């Protein structure tokens, strides 16, 4: 029997390619070429599987042009790069990579919140610029993390892991808003209290965004929401670009209607809104939430395991839509 053929849309750990080669013919992309849609479609001809990352879009147009494609395995927990209804309609399986990055991403969210509240980037730039020549009583005085109110918008696995860090490690009062309320047991474990979005915006000293991107969450934080926040509040986005209206945020930061922001994700990344580059009160990182070697290896391993399971006739590990192989 012919081996299935898999395209790696981006470069990945060599051992992942070797693992996939045990069941499939693999076309790697170790030069890490960023394919245009037309190039991706051309590369997918004759392929039954594709290993994607969050930057590779699989939509109805791609699916229509690639009739042999049967599975897309995303090396990311977020899957807004997939058109799931179109994939389901085309009988193409979609998988993501949840759980393995939860704690690592929560660590980064917490680090960004602390760096933002304590003005670490701004003060480091000041020191590097040779401007530090004396101490003063309010030099880079920021806000406290311990004892403050942590507001979490989006209370999935990563939101819960951040809540635990805040409540158990730093004595923070944790409030959250989510599409659906957590069970009483989970709320008790995370020491988190469910509130309305308005209450969350008005009460949080530090607001953390961890909700998935969808049409419904587009600009969930815009000018109106920013205006509801305390002038002393900080905002951290580790979720997805587009959840925050970055232009409105740049204005809020410039006018200091909120104190500061920490951003790991951006609308239209890797482009960054120029207004965000212009203001000092923002800490910017290039989408590194899950970026530790063990976690990235685990994410790639899970995406590969889904492909291996699919082509060996085994149940999928983390499916996002119905498996057309099951009757
Ligand atoms: C990835 C992410 O680095 O998992 C996600 O949803 O945003 C990040 O962890 C990125 O999407 C690579 O696929």
Give whole-number Cα distances, 147 to 29, 103, 139, 209, 296, in Å: 48, 22, 22, 19, 33
Q: What is the pLDDT of residues 253-283, one digit of tens each?
A: 999 999 999 999 999 999 999 999 999 999 9
**5-100+293-311 and 102-284 have identical folds:** yes
CB 193 within 8 A of CB 174: yes
pLDDT score recorded for residue 18: 98
Give whole-number Cα distances, 188 to 84, 184, 296, in Å: 34, 6, 31
* CB 114 near ligand 1, within 6 Å: no
For residue 97, the CA-to-ligand 1 centroid distance in Å is 9
Strand duo 5-8 + 25-27: pairing: parallel
| Alpha-carbon gap, residue 323 to 300, rounded angstroms | 21
pLDDT score recorded for residue 324: 87
Secondary structure element (H or E) that encloses residue 52, with its range: strand 49-52
| Residues forming the active site | 240, 269, 287
* CB 54 near ligand 1, within 6 Å: yes
CB 226 within 8 A of CB 248: yes
pLDDT score recorded for residue 325: 81
Domain extents in the chain: 5-100+293-311, 102-284
The protein residue with its alpha carbon nearest to ligand 1, atom 1, reads 76
Q: What is the pLDDT of residues 18-54, one digit of tens each?
A: 999 999 999 999 999 999 999 999 999 999 999 999 9
* CB 78 near ligand 1, within 6 Å: yes
Q: Quick one: which atom of ligand 1 is closest to the CA of 289?
A: 9
The first and second tokens of residue 32, run together, are 């890490």
Please enumerate, as own/partner, the contacts of 298-301 that have beta carbons within 8 Å and a separation of 24 or more.
298/97, 298/100, 298/101, 299/75, 299/76, 299/97, 299/100, 299/101, 300/12, 300/13, 300/16, 300/75, 301/16, 301/19, 301/100
* 150: nearest Cα among 78, 210, 88, 239: 210
Q: Which CATH superfamily is domain 5-100+293-311 in?
A: NAD(P)-binding Rossmann-like Domain (3.40.50.720)
pLDDT score recorded for residue 141: 98
Q: Write out residues in the chain with pLDDT < 70, as ranges.
A: 1, 327
Q: Quick one: which atom of ligand 1 is closest to the CA of 79?
A: 6
* CB 212 near ligand 1, within 6 Å: no
Enter the CATH code of domain 102-284: 3.40.50.720
The protein residue with its alpha carbon nearest to ligand 1, atom 2, reads 76
DSSP β-bridge partners for residue 150: 174, 206
């Amino acid at each position: 029997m012919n081996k299935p053929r898999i395209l790696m849309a981006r470069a990945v750990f060599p051992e992942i390619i070797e693992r996939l080669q045990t069941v499939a013919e693999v076309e790697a992309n170790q030069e890490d070429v960023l394919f245009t849609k037309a190039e991706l479609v051309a590369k997918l001809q004759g392929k039954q599987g594709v290993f994607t990352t969050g930057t590779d879009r699989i939509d109805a147009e791609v699916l229509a042009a690639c009739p042999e494609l049967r599975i897309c395995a995303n090396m990311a927990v977020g899957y807004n790069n997939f058109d799931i209804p179109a994939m389901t309609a085309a009988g193409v399986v979609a998988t993501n990579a949840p759980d393995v990055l939860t704690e690592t991403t929560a660590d980064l969210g917490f680090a960004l919140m602390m760096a933002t509240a304590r003005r670490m980037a701004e003060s480091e730039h000041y020191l590097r610029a040779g401007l530090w020549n004396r101490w003063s009583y309010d030099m880079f005085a920021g806000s406290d993390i311990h004892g403050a109110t942590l507001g979490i918008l989006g209370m999935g696995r990563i939101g819960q892991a951040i809540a635990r860090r805040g409540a158990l490690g730093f004595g923070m009062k944790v409030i959250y808003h989510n599409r659906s309320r957590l069970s009483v047991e989970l709320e008790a474990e995370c020491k988190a209290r469910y509130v309305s979005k308005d209450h969350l915006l008005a009460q949080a000293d530090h607001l953390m965004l961890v909700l998935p991107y969808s049409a419904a969450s587009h600009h969930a934080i815009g000018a109106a929401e920013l205006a509801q926040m305390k002038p002393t509040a900080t905002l951290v986005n580790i979720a997805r670009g587009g959840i925050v209206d970055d232009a409105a945020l740049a204005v809020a930061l410039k006018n200091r209607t909120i104190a500061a922001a920490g951003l790991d994700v951006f609308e239209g990344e890797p482009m960054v809104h120029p207004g965000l580059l212009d203001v000092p009160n923002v800490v910017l990182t290039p989408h590194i939430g899950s970026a530790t070697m063990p976690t990235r290896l685990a994410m790639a391993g899970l995406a590969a395991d889904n492909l291996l399971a699919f082509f060996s006739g085994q149940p999928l590990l983390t499916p996002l839509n119905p498996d057309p192989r099951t009757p």
